[in-house]
Structure 1
Amino acid sequence: MHESVQPPNGVVGAALELFAQQGFEQTSVEQIAKAAGVSRSTFFRQFGGKEDVVFADHEALIEQLRAFLDEPHDDPWQAVCEASERVFSYFARDPELARRRYQIVRDVPALREREIITVFRYERLFDDYLRQSLPGIDPVDAVGFAALVTAVHNHVLRQLLRGKKVPVSVLQKSLADVRRRYGVLEDAADAASDDVVVAVFPRSMPIAEITRRVQAELS
């Protein structure tokens, strides 16, 4: 097991509680520092501002995932999926805190914009990793896989943030489907040697539509 990101420190927890109680705009740095038992200067040494407090966990997670992906991995596709699972497991450890953060972000336009940027940083991290780990990979496959893993992760996580009990196994199953779609799941190669499928499609048909039709026939 790899070392996991630690839960939010006292400043983050205190800030989120104040934001939930009295609103993001109405909460001052001085109030956060006082509630957390630190000085104003200590706050600014740790964070650049109130927005940074809300996204502090993501900053730590991205750095941890970067270190994790820098390690050797036999299967880069699976490594990206495991990185996604780590993010989900982190927030699932304290779902109430994660839901509080989610509500705050939803209510503040500036935070929603910051969240979009943060999501893109995860995608870019996965995309860059696949391109470096799989020389010759089609860039479309790298960016497509990275985007799909991130989108599936966010879809499952959103269910948790909206109050459902969602075990990590739900995400794992969904990510296995993503790998199966890209033909990079181990059991996808376990078919019998005489199990052959031949399909003919117009040259002009988009690849996505060909994939959809083949999957519909095989399922």
Structure 2
Amino acid sequence: MSKPPARIRLADAAFALFDERGYEQTTVDDIAERAGVGRTTFFRHYRSKEAVIFPDHDRLLDLIRDRLATSSQSTALVAVSDAVRLVLLHYIDEGDLARRRYALTSKVTALRDREIASVARYQRLFREFIADWMGDPTAAASLRAELMAASVVSAHNHVLRRWLRDECSEPVAEVDEAMREVLALFSGPPERENVAAGAAGADTMIVAFRTEQDLEALLPSLRRLAERGPTV
């Protein structure tokens, strides 16, 4: 039976040593020796000891960019959901390795800080895409794009952590549902509103809502509300 590829052997050796000796006490030479390869082979596959732990974020970010780039104005939010699913599937494919990484980063502050920095890169990519999709350079739109991106990343991480803790048996279905919840909050680029006109009484605002009351019974209350004028 053939040996696993050197990259896999290095990762397995690294996590085994981290469990045995601790992250700080394990060196690159230790990992290479346990994997049965030389130091040069280690650096052919990984830039550093930390790089063994984390997935190839650059490749994942490229996959996200490629998926987002195939979208149109009308399919942008679908592309966002697909991109989130791509990242989740990467972790699921890693299986036990992803769970070992989660356990390790939960204990080592330096690794947790690096993971936070990586999450920020994903959020920035989504924010830039959403801002372009909105096509609105105003500060309000910029804030909305930031909020949308943060919600997208939070939804993914929430489901991922549940799967890593064995609290979720169908993570793909759960992340799809989570994304539906998020995107329902941001159904499209907001319409430009003339606030000043509202203050002058020139606009009519129509509010849609659901009720079990009969329309005929509801109309008198609506008329009284309209006669009363705006309230704060």
Scaled to the shorter chain, the TM-score interval is 0.7 to 0.9
Cross-structure match for 1:71: 70
Cross-structure match for 2:163: 160
Amino acid at match of 1:179: L
CA distance in 2, matches of 1:57, 1:14: 18
Q: Deviations over 1:62-119 (max 9, x none)?
A: 2322232233344112211211111112212343221100011111110011011011
Amino acid at match of 1:13: D
CA distance in 1, matches of 2:96, 2:89: 13
Q: SS state of the match for residue 12, structure 2?
A: helix
Q: CA RMSD in A?
A: 2.5
Cross-structure match for 1:188: none
User: Measured at CA, do residues 104 and 142 of structure 1 come closer, stay the same or move farther in structure 2, by a change above 3 Å?
Assistant: same
Moved more, 165-174 or 55-64: 55-64
Moved more, 110-119 or 67-76: 67-76
Is residue 71–residue 79 contact of structure 2 (8 Å, CA) maintained in 1? Answer: no
Is residue 127–residue 146 contact of structure 2 (8 Å, CA) maintained in 1? Answer: yes
Q: SS state of the match for residue 56, structure 1?
A: coil
CA distance in 1, matches of 2:119, 2:88: 13
Larger RCO, structure (CA 8 Å, separation 6 or more): 1
User: Measured at CA, do residues 145 and 26 of structure 1 come closer, stay the same or move farther in structure 2, by a change above 3 Å?
Assistant: same
Amino acid at match of 1:106: S
Cross-structure match for 1:118: 118
> How far is the alpha carbon of 1:43 from its aligned partner?
1.9
Q: What TM-score do you get using the length of structure 1 for normalisation? A: 0.74
Aligned residues: 186
- Pick from 166, 173, 178: which aligns with 1:174? 178
Amino acid at match of 1:77: L
**Structure 1 residue runs without a partner (length 5+):** 1-7, 185-194, 203-219
Cross-structure match for 1:131: 131
